[in-house]
Structure 1
Amino acid sequence: MSAGPESERPLLAVDRQQQLLDLIQQRGTVRVAELVTELDVAAATIRRDIAALAADGLVQRVHGGATTARADAVPSESLLETGILGMLVPSLDYYWPGIVRGAEVAARENGLRVVLRGSSYTIDDERPHLTRLLEQGAGAILVSPSPASPHLAETVDQLGDLDVPVVVVERPGLAEPAGRPFEHVHSDHAFGGARATKHLLALGHRRIAFACPPESPTGPAVREGWSRVLDTLDVPTASRIDLSIPQHGSTISETAVDHVVDELLASGSTAALVHADAHAIAIVQRLEDRGFSVPADLSVVAYDDEFASLFSPSLTAVRPARAAIGRAAVELAAARLADPDRPTHRVVVLPTLHVRESSAGPKG
């Protein structure tokens, strides 16, 4: 079969790059989004071609496209010039406000500003939020997609197609599109769970329970750290006191709390690591209602430290460094904006343990 007309053949890389170079020289600046349609190739292919031309000193990369390599060339308004960081978080009333505040402070220090949108852990589709942030001029996206969204894969694909830097926050296990590794910053919650368990172990506890609502996105990592320490004690998995705390939305029923307390007492646990603060407080209050004392009858360590210190007795707690997470996310985005060719960075921030009144050695 004979080959089709010349215009129907796919361009070789060298020919495509020459065509791309010609367009840049003619127009001064080109955008990847426009070239996808004009050259009928994938955005990832165009980005590779721009990178190759930039490596040869023939063009200058800018976010969203490329411009001429002349020192006096003035590109069209780049996303860096907008000074806007779009931020999408899955909650505006728990955990995330601390991250947002840290991001806001770091943005001001870098001459940028944060435009915020809030999703929810139960929302069906987060893509319209991302689109809106881009329409508002976001030059980079800081995002924490909801792991429970039925459209998570489509959201990840959308992020992978963006021509702006993307920093994923607190989602270390998020899958990535081929050829587009995301910058990440996240708390090492497994370290935090292990740190709390080691604290209780050092106090002399050997029956250390873990309690957490089943739908918590943080819970599995905290559980991993707790379990890792129990591995050093040769505690069989079947013998570990791993308790689920049912809840409806943010509400914990008295029946659910009573069930957890019954399990703690029946198991002979002398200590418990509980995620999160509200659950830990509910358990301590129920123990007190039933004539037990913390830490005399049960040591308790909360995970999150949103308001654990305000309770009486003040709760020993693990505190994720929320402000530091927000700051690191902004700094990753700012660094990427300043140097589009820098290697992809991943930042891990360790939580801290704050020892208070609710943990002590076991009785006897």
Structure 2
Amino acid sequence: MKKTASRQADVAKAAGVSQSTVSMVMNGTADLGRISAGTQRRVMDAARRLQYAPAGQRRAVARATPHLLGVHTFEPIFPTSSRDYYFEFLRGIEEQAAAEGCNLVLFTAAPDESGVRRIFADDTNGLRQAAGSLLLGHHADREDLARLAYEGYPFVYVGHREVPGASISYVGGDYRTATGEIVDDLVALGHRTFAYLGEQSRDEPQEDRWTGFAGALERFALPVPEPVFSAPSGLTTGWLDQALAAGTTAILVESVNLLRVLAAMLNLRGLSVPGDLSVVLLVDDETEVGSLPWATLRVPRNAMGRRAVRLLTSLLTEPNGDYERQILLPCEHTLEGTVGPSPR
């Protein structure tokens, strides 16, 4: 007897969720519905056990061969443990590629003099063996992105990136809104004077965070501080002393490396967190800094990877379709650990 194919309802029952939840998880849009990472994992596990084939995978079966999707990184990012920052991006890509019935291939290249792995070498597109590619990395080469767009090669950047003169497809986190919501919560706790520590290298994700921060303060008619965009080695206790003298009660920090320096300076000055000062890290990196569980903005890394695959397969199967090609997913945050009421 021919085995009956598993249905969406079967996956929903096995995972203990609704069919709409299964649909959103399998389509890579679960974070838009605020579906927790644990629930998403439960749905994916149930789908694997039941060998459930969603619509995307059924389309792939109908093709002569599955799409071969490339994964290119502009700098070394592949994780050595599940705690690495890029682990969930890559796991999300792998999960959604399996759901879509696609194969994956990793592309790498020797770095140029600036340390960036270029896509075009000897005037040749190094990704051409794949039907389309997913691109990752902090330091993208804008010329490569512009050329890919000009040549019509299908690709999706995992992260918010803009290229002058070209419209590229991307899936990123809505850091602007999330940072604004963090400021809202801090103001509700009585904080009125803030400081901001940002990375020296400025790309769209960093600028989105700063814009969300400054915009929220302007909404409350609170003073917007002069930001410090610095390498960790450029920070001094003199900056901290000036911030404290100005009445600062909360500091937002863009990176773990900057947080390490700030934590050391606070310890040197004998200041407690959050007793004397509240601190929020604007990225959820599991790297340990001291003994505190730091208040953080949570990046939807797994969902970004999965949604990027979904978008790429849409570009390949429906290149002229009516759907969003520049997507920012909502981010959550927690203020537990290093945020408290304003001490002033």
Q: TM-score, normalised by structure 2?
A: 0.69
Mapping 1:89-128, distance limit 5 Å: 89-93=73-77, 95-117=85-107, 122-123=114-115, 126-128=118-120
Structure-2 change in CA distance of 1:172 and 1:244 (3 Å): closer
Structure-2 change in CA distance of 1:279 and 1:118 (3 Å): farther
1:229 alignment counterpart: 216
Consecutive unaligned residues of structure 2, counting only runs of 5 or more, are 1-61, 78-83
| Aligned partner of 1:294 among 255, 262, 273 | 273
1:205 alignment counterpart: 191
Compute the displacement of 1:344 (Å): 4.6
Is this contact kept in 2: 1:196–1:273, CA < 8 A? no
Render the CA deviation track for 1:61-113: whole Å, top value 9, x for unaligned.
Answer: xxxxxxxxxxxxxxxxx998353211223344474443222111111221223
> How far apart in 2 are the matches of 1:125 and 1:285?
34
Render the CA deviation track for 1:141-186: whole Å, top value 9, x for unaligned.
Answer: 222576674xx23541233314x42223323422354xxx543212
Answering whether residue 102 of structure 2 is matched by residue 133 of structure 1, we say no
Structure-2 change in CA distance of 1:344 and 1:187 (3 Å): same
| Aligned partner of 1:171 among 156, 160, 163 | 160
Mapping 1:11-160, distance limit 5 Å: 81-93=65-77, 95-117=85-107, 122-123=114-115, 126-128=118-120, 131-134=125-128, 137-144=129-136, 149=141, 152-153=142-143, 155-160=145-150
> How far apart in 2 are the matches of 1:208 and 1:323?
31
- Tell me which moved more, 168-177 or 275-284: 168-177
Any idea what SS the aligned residue of 1:88 has? strand
Render the CA deviation track for 1:204-234: whole Å, top value 9, x for unaligned.
Answer: 1000111112214222111100001110222
2:320 alignment counterpart: 341
Structure-2 change in CA distance of 1:352 and 1:267 (3 Å): same
Consecutive unaligned residues of structure 1, counting only runs of 5 or more, are 1-77
Answering whether residue 341 of structure 2 is matched by residue 361 of structure 1, we say yes
Is this contact kept in 2: 1:169–1:185, CA < 8 A? yes
Structure-2 change in CA distance of 1:354 and 1:221 (3 Å): same
Compute the displacement of 1:325 (Å): 0.8
Q: Which has the higher contact order (CA 8 A, sep 6+)?
A: 2
2:302 alignment counterpart: 323
Any idea what SS the aligned residue of 2:280 has? strand
> How far apart in 1 are the matches of 2:181 and 2:241?
26
Percent identical pairs in the alignment equals 23
Q: TM-score, normalised by structure 1?
A: 0.66
Aligned length: 271
- In structure 2, give the amino acid aligned to 1:108: A
Larger Rg: 1
Is this contact kept in 1: 2:192–2:249, CA < 8 A? yes
Render the CA deviation track for 1:249-272: whole Å, top value 9, x for unaligned.
Answer: xxx33x624344233223220001
